[in-house]
Amino acid sequence: MSIWGRVAVVGAYEHPARFAPDKTAYQLHAESARGALADAGLGIEQVDGFFTSGVGPIGILSLAQHLDLEPCYLDSQSIGGSSFVSHCLHAAAAIAGGLCSVALVTYGSTAASQRFAIGTGGASGGDPPDEFEAPFGPTIVGSYALVARRHMHAYGTTSEQLAEIAVTMRRHAGLNPHAKYRDPITVEDVLASRMISSPLHLLDCCIISDGGGALVLTSVERARDLRRPPVVILGGAEAVRHHGVGNRDLLDIAACQSGPLALARAGVAHADIDVCQVYDSYTITVLVTLEALGFCEPGEGGAFCAGGRIGLGGALPVNTDGGGLSSNHPGMRGIFLVIEAVRQLRGERGAAQVPGAELALVHGTGGMLGGRHSGATLVLGRV
Amino acid sequence: MAVLPRIDEESRGFWEALARHELYFQRCRDCGRARFPPRALCPACLSSATAWVRASGRGTVYSFTVTYQNQAPGFRDVLPYVLAIVELAEGPRLVTNIVGCPPEAVRVGMAVEVVFDDVAPEVTLAKFRPVGDDP
């Protein structure tokens, strides 16, 4: 029996903190768990599946202690910022398969208050393939910049087109009272900001913030008795891309595989998607992800993202909370993609609401887009 | 201070060749598929029969970025530098640096050739420079 349409997100909470030097990362996990369980109307004692990442190799054990959880299903899938999107996919399978009944997904990070240099502090994980890259000074932003340069070479994509993405995300952030940066910016502002790793400028890059978030998932049957309108997982898939045997096409990203698979599993066409939340670690991430997901043809991403098409009121509103480029980015923001999609499908977003949104697509990217990275796609719908 | 690779049993042949200023990649003796970075088994056919093939050292820039910010030791003092992926004439692509020209002169598709950078005793890195440039 298919798992699609049988499991729902019933609780979602985004921690409002963007700079929290008075809190620990575990505290942000716990406060987010409290928020999501309250949203769902469930008690923590009902949680029997626990999902988290970014807490170290077996850190889920320590975090389980912190929350005094003794679940019968544990998943600390760690594939970068997309991990939490992947957790929802895994939770859907676990709940539909009877391995647990109430899944809690948590995230928390104090990257900003610890002054952690996300993106520009070197990027070697110490795994065997890293030894062929680390001596040459790779950075996370540099990895994405390699993709941007290749895309520019292949298709004539311009820095102005990339800048428009940052401008749109900032416009959305202006409607989000919790967003870290809310003042409007222009294409000229992006191009005038200092170059970090060409062709990516400072304002092509995600911000660094603290933050946390949590999700609660359960079966659609159980969801009927809960206080929030359930948001159902209609389809999903994940994928990985890497240098392979030295034959990698930089524009063949993980979303090329997970996107079409997720849509097919949901039985949904691109034109049916009302709102999209895609990981915007950098402006180029949005452009190539939308192409890879199939919302436009390869090479058309620049034009697709221009002219306000991915803004509220446009053909495909993307990252309606302001995304990682303007709202929050504590290092691994995949959970916020799901949270914002849930809020949109519940119709809770006020001035940033996509009218009548019924179907949302979420895509998380984790790791280094121009190197080893993961992709996780979800198609979510309201019942 | 350079960041040095950690050399293990699957990569030792590659690094030892580089120390002799020779650039090698691997080719499966059974299915003929080229591979880089080195590893003991061919992932296409899972054969352990491996040939080391000496590369001509010629290639083209597949993509690049001029890095202006990197706080990591070994790199914060050498900014800006060019991080690149070079496609060898024989096929495999590798992560490297482009040296021997101003960063702003680098282009995708530019013809390059290997230069051997002896960064530590017994450790040499394969970097690339535009073809025709004298050191």
**% of residues, chain A, pLDDT over 70:** 98
Q: Is residue A1 part of a domain?
A: no
**B64–A146 C-beta distance less than 8 A:** yes
Claim to verify: residue A50 and residue A160 sit in the same structural domain: no
When CB atoms are compared, the residue of B3, B92, B109 closest to A246 is B92
**Domain of residue A162, residue span:** 128-203+235-382
Residue A346 to chain B, least CA–CA distance (Å): 41
Report the residue of A127, A136, A247 to disrupt the B interface, i.e. the one with the largest count of B CBs within 10 Å: A136
- A323 CB contacts (<8 Å, ≥6 apart)? A169, A172, A173, A206, A277, A280, A286
Q: What is the DSSP string of A99-146?
A: S-SEEEEEEEE-TTTTT--TTTS-----SGGGGGTGGG---HHHHHHH
When CB atoms are compared, the residue of B2, B44, B65 closest to A135 is B2
**% of residues, chain B, pLDDT over 90:** 91
Report the residue of A202, A243, A245 to disrupt the B interface, i.e. the one with the largest count of B CBs within 10 Å: A245
Q: What is the pLDDT of residue A126?
A: 80
Claim to verify: residue A22 and residue A138 sit in the same structural domain: no
Question: What is the CB neighbour count within 10 angstroms for residue A254?
Answer: 29
Does residue A95 sit at the B interface (CB-CB below 8 Å)?
A: no
Closest CA to B83 of B68, B107, B104, B65: B65
- Band (A264; pLDDT cuts 50, 70, 90): very high
Q: Is residue A371 part of a domain?
A: yes
How confident is the model over A319-347, as pLDDT tens digits? 999 999 999 999 999 999 999 999 999 99
Q: Is residue A119 part of a domain?
A: no
Claim to verify: residue A321 and residue A190 sit in the same structural domain: yes
CATH 2.40.50.840 fits B56-135, yes or no: yes
Q: What is the pTM of this model?
A: 0.97
Residue A140 to chain B, least CA–CA distance (Å): 10
Residue A360's beta-bridge partner residues? A275, A380
Task: Calculate ∠ Cα A242-A327-A367, nearest 5°.
Answer: 10
**A131–B91 C-beta distance less than 8 A:** no
Claim to verify: residue A54 and residue A161 sit in the same structural domain: no
How confident is the model over A106-123, as pLDDT tens digits? 999 999 998 877 777 666
Kindly list the domain boundaries of chain B, sorted by start residue: 8-54, 56-135
Closest CA to A230 of A5, A2, A1, A4: A5
Report the residue of A116, A127, A132, A243 to disrupt the B interface, i.e. the one with the largest count of B CBs within 10 Å: A132
Claim to verify: residue A41 and residue A188 sit in the same structural domain: no
First vs last C-alpha separation in chain A: 20
Closest CA to A349 of A319, A371, A316: A319
Q: Is residue A2 part of a domain?
A: no
When CB atoms are compared, the residue of A134, A135, A250 closest to B63 is A250
